A = this chain, B = another copy of it.
């Protein structure tokens, strides 16, 4: 039986992503992690440090009704950190000083002062800014940096705002977001395998993929052509989602046996890929 996985959308915020300064490794890491947890990333949106752009992206995403919207970036103390303002605008809320968040941040700066990293402990407007959350939101502790993550339940959608610094994003995700995702994922498992194929053109592989996918309706097979000087080289990626790890594995193994036979008949050579 095939079960539809719960949907997640990612919204990555930051001009650095739109000018090609920063490679979006956050989206890549989150997509892999969320898929492995048995949920489906439906869309990834990247917008700049602009309240209206952020608010539009969030509103549009809410309309598609994913179970989770996870944003990265824009939670810090500087003027261009506008994520929470964008979220508040999208849901028609105000930003308010959140006592729990303020305590978390104060604790950090007291610690920084004790370590000699800042001169004086003083809650400037820039530091307090990180504690101004949309009403009803909950701060998520940041084990690595200063700005807390933020969770806001909005109707049936869970909005999760994470910082853009990868180590902070990953730490908050693992500690506070994974347990929430596991709750909605149930027992679903994503299972995948790859084969390296040589000596057959992708257009000749196409009818073979059609045939094997028709016979293995729960397995998704996608060909990824790789450039090399002389020979065709294609990576074949097989994946499935199931509530049973052993069924998932069986499905993939069966599809691999079938597709390998047909590829060899056409003169192709096959090599499994360690993942």
Chain A positions near chain B (C-beta within 8 angstroms): 15-25, 27-35, 40-49, 53, 57, 60, 76-80, 109, 112, 117-119, 124, 126-127, 144-146, 165-168, 190, 192, 201-207, 209-210, 213, 220, 222-227, 231-232, 237, 239, 267
A-B contact pairs, 13 of them (CB 8 A): A18-B44, A19-B32, A20-B28, A22-B224, A27-B46, A43-B53, A45-B46, A79-B210, A80-B222, A109-B203, A119-B267, A166-B227, A167-B227
Least Cβ–Cβ distance between A139 and chain B, in angstroms: 17
The answer to whether A43 touches B44, judged by C-beta atoms less than 8 angstroms apart, is no
Beta-carbon nearest neighbor of A224 in chain B: B16
Least Cβ–Cβ distance between A70 and chain B, in angstroms: 13
Beta-carbon nearest neighbor of A209 in chain B: B78
Contacts of A127 in B (CB 8 A): 203
The answer to whether B206 touches A79, judged by C-beta atoms less than 8 angstroms apart, is yes
Contacts of A22 in B (CB 8 A): 28, 224
The answer to whether B15 touches A24, judged by C-beta atoms less than 8 angstroms apart, is no
Contacts of A43 in B (CB 8 A): 18, 45-47, 53, 57
Least Cβ–Cβ distance between A256 and chain B, in angstroms: 17
The answer to whether A223 touches B144, judged by C-beta atoms less than 8 angstroms apart, is no
The answer to whether A203 touches B124, judged by C-beta atoms less than 8 angstroms apart, is yes
